[in-house]
Amino acid sequence: MSALAGTVKGWFREIVADWDRFWFTPVDPATLSLIRVFAGAMLLYTHGVWSLKLESFFGADGWLMPDAVHAFHREMHTWSYFWWLRTPGQLWGAHLAAIVVFAMLTVGLFSRVVAPLAAIATLSYIQRVPGALFGLDQINALLAIYLCLGPCGARYSFDHWLAKRRGVGLVAVEPSIAANIAIRLIQLHMCVIYLFAGTSKLMGLAWWNGFAMWLALGNYEYQSLDMTWLAHWPRTVSLLSHVTIFWETFYCLLIWSKRWRPVMLILAILLHMGIAICLGMMTFGLVMLIGNLAFVSPLLVQRMLAGRGGAVAPQSRADLEGA
Amino acid sequence: MSGLVAFHLFAVFVGPWAAIREQTSPLAADCRRLVAPYVDALYLGNGYRFFAPEPGPSHLVKYDLTLPGGQTLSGHFPDRAARQPRLLYHRYFMLSETLNTLYTPDKNAPGRAVFDRYVRSYARHLLLAHQAANVRLTLVEHRIAAIEDIQRGKVSLADANLFEELPLGTFSEDDR
């Protein structure tokens, strides 16, 4: 009995140690900083496009009038600062302020301050216009939230450049537990997204008989590149359908394997760029790839961008193991 | 810190697990209730059901406006010709898709009131934007051509037979 108790205790101790190692190992913030650059640019573009029809969507007389939005959000706990804005002047003032925040996040200027502001702004836009949203907004929101948690401006930023100017010589970037937590949360969130994207397709006949990809590519309103010729290549359509659902369903397992990770990331690029180019969702395709960047190790990021982010930080175990 | 991380991960999983009320188990619904304010506030309650259970037809909203002088003006959204950049086109596309998602033929169904408010909201916006006397709205379903029909050269993707209309009503200045 005591042997069994000892085994259980040892097993439990190992789980706790694995948990601590997974979450609380300091890593170089290179990957998080690179995600900040791309996610910031995507937030800037996404909200910049709202400028073209700001009052039509966010004004009191817009497509989604307050009573309709409140009915949609009934029994939900949502909040948006847009409900405080009464005049077109206030609306434009808040919008321009948000654009400045997103621009500052992209270039990494006062990152620790503008990252939470960017998250608040992103959620406020989202909660004001339910009905005009799609996957892009879901990923924008999660990236904005997780960027708040770590030192996202530690590299590839004006913050780093200014620190170097103020200091003498190169300013070392320290490995950070907060950077690891932010990256781990992005990784796990991406796994949850793909798990539900894959398993929810299992209910659809077209994903089993192989014609699902035709139903997507043959959708005239989505189509941005004419792929109608694929109708004459039914086995290719089937292959694309089956690979998509297998890849999505098993992503949450295989992405953690060092051997499979490059394969899963290459498939991510092919799938999301396919969506971007053929189905007219360039922003969605790109933002999913920004999320996938969380699986690229800080060391690899530093190597790819050598000379742009300052000195290479002391390498942690997680860096060397590819996170 | 571990507790906060675990709580957040629980919410991240529960969000999509209980995203669609009709497809949610009692257990998932109970879990959702535990973290509802957090999930709603951080916009974690999405199903992530991209093209699931399978890609379906797309939907458009057609509008016919009568202007004060008696002239008429018609249009539809999303409009591939009129909305650039593509992201803006997609915003309009989501407006029409949301209307279809909210639609239920049963006028007494619980979600029907939200659908009615959305229709009125679109109508009021069009009336105000064009200073129109009335507007007639129609939800148009555009079915996807069968792969066999394309192979045989019988139809094109935009074939007129693939469109089906659902009248939503006519709205006037009183509905503003």
Whether A46 and B87 lie within 8 Å, measured CB to CB: yes
CA distance A311 to A62: 50
Examine the pLDDT at B176 and tell me if it is beyond 60: no
| Chain B nearest-CA residue for A226 | B157
Which residues in chain A (148-177) have CB-CB distances under 8 A to chain B?
A: none
How confident is the model at residue A168, as a pLDDT?
57
CA distance B35 to B33: 6
- Whether residues B69 and B155 share a domain: the answer is yes
Q: Number of structural domains, chain B? A: 2
- Would you say residue B48 lies in a domain? no
Of A297-311, B18-32, B150-164, minimum mean pLDDT range: A297-311
Q: What is the pLDDT of residues A198-253, one digit of tens each?
A: 999 999 999 999 999 999 999 999 998 999 999 999 999 999 999 999 999 999 99
Whether A220 and B142 lie within 8 Å, measured CB to CB: yes
Whether B53 and A211 lie within 8 Å, measured CB to CB: no
Q: What is the pLDDT of residues B121-137, one digit of tens each?
A: 999 999 999 999 999 99
Average pLDDT over residues B28-35: 93
CA distance A208 to A213: 11
Taking only Cα atoms into account, the Rg of chain A, rounded to an integer number of angstroms, comes to 22
Whether B95 and A131 lie within 8 Å, measured CB to CB: yes
Average pLDDT over residues A297-306: 91
Beta strands B163-172; B58-66: pairing state: unpaired
ipTM of the complex: 0.93
Which residues in chain B (58-117) have CB-CB distances under 8 A to chain A?
A: 58, 60, 78, 80, 85-95, 98-99, 113-114, 117
What mean pLDDT, rounded, does chain A reach?
91
Q: What is the pLDDT of residues A39-71, one digit of tens each?
A: 999 999 999 999 999 999 999 899 999 999 999
- Whether residues B124 and B88 share a domain: the answer is yes
Contacts of A87 (CB under 8 A, 6+ apart): none
- Would you say residue B103 lies in a domain? yes
- Whether residues B25 and B92 share a domain: the answer is no
The answer, for B158 touching chain A at a CB cutoff of 8 Å, is yes
Examine the pLDDT at A312 and tell me if it is beyond 70: no
Whether A197 and B52 lie within 8 Å, measured CB to CB: yes
- Whether residues B113 and B138 share a domain: the answer is yes
Query: Do the beta carbons of residue A140 and residue A46 sit within 8 Å?
Result: yes
- Whether residues B18 and B91 share a domain: the answer is no
3-class secondary-structure state, position A78:
coil
At residue A1 the predicted structure's pLDDT band, cuts being 50, 70 and 90, is low
**Domains of chain A, residue spans:** 27-315
- Whether residues B26 and B95 share a domain: the answer is no
Nearest 10 degrees: CA dihedral of A234, A236, A241, A242? Answer: 110
Domain that includes residue B9, residue range: 2-41
Average pLDDT over residues B161-169: 93
Cis check for the bond before B53: say yes or no (omega within 30 of 0).
Answer: yes
List CB contacts (< 8 A) between B1 and chain A.
23-24, 181
- Whether residues B30 and B77 share a domain: the answer is no
- Whether residues B112 and B147 share a domain: the answer is yes
Average pLDDT over residues B79-92: 89
User: How far does B60 lie from chain A, in Å, by closest CA?
Assistant: 9
- Whether residues B29 and B95 share a domain: the answer is no
